Amino acid sequence: MDENDEIFDFEQAYDEEFTNESHLLSDELIINHNDNYSNQVINKVMKNSLIPTKDTEPQQEQQHQEQQQQQEEEIVIDEDDEDQYDKFIPTDSEKIKKYKKDQEYLITVSKKPPTLLTPPENFSPVCGLIYRSSFPRIENFEFLLKLKLKSIICLIPEEYPPENIEFLNKNNINFYQIGLSGNKEPFVKIKPNLVNEALKILTNPENHPILIHCNRGKHRTGCIVGCIRKLQKWSLSMIFDEYRKFAYPKERPLDQQFIEMFDDSEIQNLAFENNWLPLKW
């Protein structure tokens, strides 16, 4: 039975943590006791690095500056990681060229070989004829055709890539773009009025079948789908459960807060007018 193997020994873990902490404490104590010694060490460090004294040579100063710059750059890269995760990265241009060639070939041959369908990551129906996914790439186009989409809502502020626009035009799909910036601690926040706009489009049955996507299909899409669930009167716990399922392993508490706090009264009235509510699954 695998269950027995995975039982976590809390007591042991607690003990380990505790002893580790006590180690830390004792180290600090030692430093405090040997005040003279530690002062000396600190003085040495100060002289060597932080304060450029007369003794230090200009070369050393330059080195220090370079080091500092390097450190700063490293920090910037760290911050970018989270940004990069949500940012749209265009498909490799050679891949697109090959795709276009294949398309032309298919037209001339007319019968295409049976291939496996590739749904975009995080693809799922939401309710009725509303679908959600991550950013659709050329390899997902064949799959999307099966949905017979009438519209697509894109939630990223970046420009829509030309190959996707071509796909839209070819298949007469309406395109809406609402550039949301994701919820990021602590200052960037999703704007509720933009979410309202997106929901207006989504709850209009004339636009169905409709696909909603951002870059990863996790955070921005998750927020909008959460708001749809709120319109459907789902309990908040189950909304959060669904949000976490799709956002795993990058769940954001701020997104869940947004869903909870979002005022959907305006959209609710509109959805009733559009005959989208009460919902017919």
Q: Is 126 in the site for another protein (CB under 8 A)?
A: yes
Provide the 3-class DSSP secondary structure of residue 163: helix
Annotation says 214 is catalytic: yes
Least distance from another protein to the Cβ atom of residue 41, Å: 46
Q: Do the Cβ atoms of 123 and 132 come closer than 8 Å?
A: yes
Q: Quick one: which of 136, 169, 138 has its CA closest to 153? A: 136
Q: How far apart are the first and last CA of the chain?
A: 40
Q: Is 121 in the site for another protein (CB under 8 A)?
A: yes
Distance CA 132, CA 195 (A): 15
Pairing of strands 151-154, 130-133: unpaired
Phi, psi of 250 (to 5 degrees): -120, 40
Q: Is 251 in the site for another protein (CB under 8 A)?
A: no
Least distance from another protein to the Cβ atom of residue 117, Å: 4
**Closer residue to another protein (CB): 178 or 228:** 228
- Residue partners of 247: CB distance under 8 A and separation at least 6: 218, 219, 222, 255
In terms of phi and psi (left: phi > 0; alpha: psi -120 to 50; beta: otherwise), the region of 263 is beta
Q: Which of 119, 160, 200, 254 binds another protein (CB under 8 A)?
A: 119
**Closer residue to another protein (CB): 134 or 183:** 134
Active-site residue, from 127, 154, 214, 227: 214
Least distance from another protein to the Cβ atom of residue 254, Å: 22
Q: Is 262 in the site for another protein (CB under 8 A)?
A: no
Least distance from another protein to the Cβ atom of residue 116, Å: 4
**Closer residue to another protein (CB): 110 or 237:** 237
Where in 37-96 is the site for another protein (CB under 8 A)?
none
The token pair that represents 182 in the structure block:
């994701």
The token pair that represents 83 in the structure block:
């940004």
Q: Which of 146, 172, 186, 265 binds another protein (CB under 8 A)?
A: 146
Single out the segment in contact with another protein by CB under 8 A; choices: 169-177, 179-187, 193-201, 238-246. 238-246
Single out the segment in contact with another protein by CB under 8 A; choices: 61-69, 193-201, 215-223, 236-244. 236-244
Tell me, what DSSP letter sits at residue 206? G
Phi, psi of 132 (to 5 degrees): -130, 155
Q: Do the Cβ atoms of 125 and 139 come closer than 8 Å?
A: no
- Residue partners of 61: CB distance under 8 A and separation at least 6: 52
Single out the segment in contact with another protein by CB under 8 A; choices: 22-30, 62-70, 165-173, 232-240. 232-240
Q: Which of 18, 175, 248, 272 binds another protein (CB under 8 A)?
A: 248
Q: Is 118 in the site for another protein (CB under 8 A)?
A: yes
The token pair that represents 169 in the structure block:
């035009």
Where in 161-190 is the site for another protein (CB under 8 A)?
none
**Closer residue to another protein (CB): 119 or 192:** 119
Q: Do the Cβ atoms of 155 and 178 come closer than 8 Å?
A: yes
Q: Which of 63, 71, 103, 124 binds another protein (CB under 8 A)?
A: 124
List of residues contacting another protein (CB under 8 A): 6, 114-119, 121-129, 146, 232-238, 242, 245-246, 248, 279, 281
